[in-house]
Amino acid sequence: MSYRLAEITIDRIGIVGSGQIGPDIALHFAEALHPWKVPVTVVDISAPALERGRARIDEKLAKAKERGTMSAEAAGAIGGLLHFTDDYETLRGASLIIEAATENLPIKRAIFTKLAALSGPETILASNSSHIAPDDIFTELNATIRARALVAHYFFPADRNVVVELVSGRETDPGLINGLATLYEAIGKLPVRVEGRYGFAVNPIFEGLVLAAILAVEEGLGSTKEVDAATRKSLGMGVGPFTAMNLTGGNPITHHALDEMTAALGPWFRTPQLLKDAVTSGKPWEVPKRDEKIELTPERERVISDAMRGAYFGLVGEILDSGIISLADLEVSVEAGLAMRAPFEFMNQLGLPLAQAAIERYAASHPGFTVPKCVKAQAATGRPFRIEHVLRQDFGDVAVLTIRRPRVLNALDETVFQQLHEQALALRTDPKIAGVVLTGFGTRSFVSGADVNFLAAITSPAEGAKTSAASKRAGDLLETLGKPVVCALNGSAFGGGSELALCCTARIAKRGLKVAFSQPETSLGIIPGAGGTQRLPRLVGIERAAAMLRVGQPLSGRDAVECGLVHEEVDGDLVAAAVKLARAAAKGEVVLKGIDPRPLDMPAALPELDLGHRSRAVDALLCRVILEGCRKPLAEGLGLESELFGAGCALEDMQIGVQNFLKNGPKVKAEFVHR
């Protein structure tokens, strides 16, 4: 069998290198593509490396079965697709071959010379190089092959870390990069596009932080344990820099990379003596043990934190100054790939003058470290960095808007609502655009709802009503755009995400969604506030809408098609199908009716339902807004919804529900008091 998406067909995958990362890349592909029975072959000239790679995969599959995250049947199917061999001939004609060998340019060139002879006319060749630019790796290949060659840089551990840097060479086909970005997103990765430069975008930040941490130790700011702990806390890291080096075995490659960066990136980058000693000894860094509490005086912690923040902000700013990656892509790739606080949001929250001052203090005591132009320029404006969470990409006369906040499953907050509104305003008057597609990033969620922290900040009924009204602006504009708007449900739409989808002219969904739509607001002690109480009854009928709104009854993709909420379920490239539908609707080839804004003929009361643990006080408000609002024209009903959403913010149950969610998550039921 084969997997086809975005004009790329994958029927066989090859991985060259069975070391630290190759087997993990192979495992991810086998996991993602096992429903299509796509085989994955790992090739290495070392028999012991192949044995270790196979053992590593078997151990991971066994642990997944033990944890219950993978069935025995799935583990067997995935393991059966993975093959380990020293025979390069098994790669002949493979659809995609990824080299994951040692970070050595002559070795990489030799491997790709061999792979070029085994390639078919459609074979994609990729290097997992962590530093070397594609034009250096593929220079000896012919132009036809260079057009289908790139760097696809994974991060540790490659089967679980979502980030993949897609680095094109001067002759790489742009269509290939677009197709691979779509493919990687569809199999659960976060692809970011980077131009070729030594180290690319993310590694100079991580390795720069390692250098800064080592220098802090050499300068006497603290021990490796103390610097590791203070850095982890101050930068919001999953693990400190020394711990990360121990986990990845990264000392040798960082030693080499920092020396190369001296010429490529600037004189501050260099291999410090402590790192040279660590490579020579082969010993791991001394780091905090699991659950070990490192005691630091407030002053020592402050000094270390200030130094590491100055280094972090400066490193990130230098990458943005280089122009090799967009701010939005840099933000998400650092946050997700390095598991630390998103840098530009961090600087915005701290205040750009304070961030700039931290960089300047670091630069003053570290020759060769520069203060980035982008930070100075943005601080001078008095405004924060603009971080794009709603991305626009035009496909001819159809614009695709993608909500991308992967760490919170595309949850809506004030910034996202504002950016959606700004994008819609621009699209309404853009003469080149005939139709619009709205989708979410990734495979799990279209939009997971409103960010609960956003809701928790509401302090009064008036503020609640204002918040509800503001959350409607973008959806109202999309609904009345004057151009067809197709929602492409790449995953579940919860709460505010469902309400946003209802504003679109039509909806299509990825086939097989067990939950396509859900309105779980009553579990939080609130009523829907972005139009759901008025649009859902008009689209699916009173009885079904009441069950969805009052007790959170979900709607699957198949059920959504049957009741007319979803136009169709789609296999394959969902966004391409949505673009096609929007274009056809714009040309009049397909009629998409949208929502009827007229009042509904409403019953005197809604059907009786078992509310379970839910608040009776909240339900009373919800029933009132459904019954009274739907008897009015849509615009008036939406106004009533905002008013009663605000009234709900005065209920004790609203505070109980929101705080319970923040403390315990969605699985623990709130103990409402019904007032």
Residue positions annotated with a catalytic role = 499, 521
Q: Are 675 and 651 in contact (CB under 8 A)?
A: yes
Helix (H, G, I), strand (E, B) or coil at 323: coil
Q: Per residue in 407-419, is it b (16+ CB within 10 Å) or e — as a string?
A: eebbbbbebbbeb
Q: Reduce the DSSP state of residue 166 to 3 states and report it.
A: strand
Q: How far apart are CA 64 and CA 293, in angstroms?
A: 30
Cβ contact 630:600 at 8 Å = yes
63: phi then psi, degrees, rounded to nearest 5: -65, -40
| Per-residue burial over 530-552, b = 16 or more CB atoms within 10 Å of its CB, e = otherwise | bbbbbbbbbbbebebbbbbbbbb
DSSP summary character for residue 450? B
Q: What are phi and psi of 551, to 5 degrees?
A: -125, 15
Residue 636, C-beta contacts closer than 8 angstroms, at least 6 positions apart: 629
Quickly count: other Cβ atoms within 10 Å of residue 54's Cβ. Answer: 17
Residue 151: Cβ within 10 Å count: 29
d(CA 3, CA 225): 47
Neighbours of 474 (CB within 10 A): 25
| C-alpha triplet 322, 323, 329: angle, nearest 5° | 115
Other beta carbons within 10 angstroms of residue 174's beta carbon come to: 10
CA distances from 333 to 99, 421, 554, 637 (A): 22, 25, 33, 42
Q: How far apart are CA 211 and CA 269, in angstroms?
A: 8
Q: How many Cβ atoms from other residues are within 10 Å of residue 293's Cβ?
A: 8
| Alpha carbon of residue 663 to chain centroid | 24
Q: At what angle do helices 298-322 and 343-350 cross, to 10 degrees?
A: 120
**Considering only CA atoms, which of 364, 479, 458, 361 is closest in space to residue 414?**
458
Tokens of 530: 């972005």
Residue spans of alpha helices (H) in 119-199: 134-137, 143-146, 174-186
H or E, element range at 149:
strand 149-154
Q: Six-digit token pair at 364?
A: 């003053």
